[in-house]
Amino acid sequence: MKLLRGTFIGLFCLVVGVLVLWQPWSTQAQGTVPAKGKPALYEFGAKWCVPCREMKEVMAALKTSHGDQVEFRMVYADEERPLFEQYKIMLIPTQVFFDASGKEVDRHIGALPKEEVIKKLKELKFIR
């Protein structure tokens, strides 16, 4: 029952996220792209989204443990909509991985536990 409720909440957040992000926005992105010279992980989400709040905790822990090697950034739909359009984010939460030159090298849709993010960062050779 708990798993079913969690799945329903996650799907609900994804559907609502799509509806929120579906609105037409200005094509002019005002946010920043990842700083060159350091790989980055951007977490796209919304403050009201339960899985996104879980990812905020994961990102905070990763910033503490690996912030010297990777830039970790939370990007919220209600604060930085142009970045959502720039990176074509349709569902939340979405993690976008950028190499040291600022080029997108991978992305994942849905929440990830800290261990899975660390595994992905190691696969991409962002961390040792």
Q: State how far the alpha carbon of 15 is from the alpha carbons of 1, 39, 52, 56, 126, in Å.
A: 21, 30, 13, 20, 31
Find all residues with CB under 8 Å of 101, minimum gap 6, and list them: 36
Measured between alpha carbons, how far is 1 from 8 in angstroms, rounded to an integer?
Answer: 11
Q: Is 97 in contact with 12 (CB distance < 8 Å)?
A: no
- Which position among 41, 46, 49, 121 bears the catalytic label? 49
Please pick, among 21, 40, 41, 52, the residue that the annotation labels catalytic.
Answer: 52
CB-count exposure of residue 86 (10 Å: 0-12, 13-18, 19+):
middle
13 part of the active site: no
Pairing of strands 40-45, 71-76: parallel
Q: Would you state the pLDDT for residue 22?
A: 45
Indicate the burial class of 13 (C-beta count within 10 angstroms; 0-12, 13-18, 19 or more).
buried
pTM assigned to the model: 0.73
pLDDT tens track, the chain, 128 positions: 555 566 656 555 555 555 444 443 333 333 455 666 899 999 999 999 999 999 999 999 999 999 999 999 999 998 999 999 999 999 999 999 999 999 999 999 999 999 999 999 999 999 98
Q: Which domains does the chain have, with CATH numbers?
A: 2-123 (3.40.30.10)
> Across the strands, what pairs with 43?
74, 95
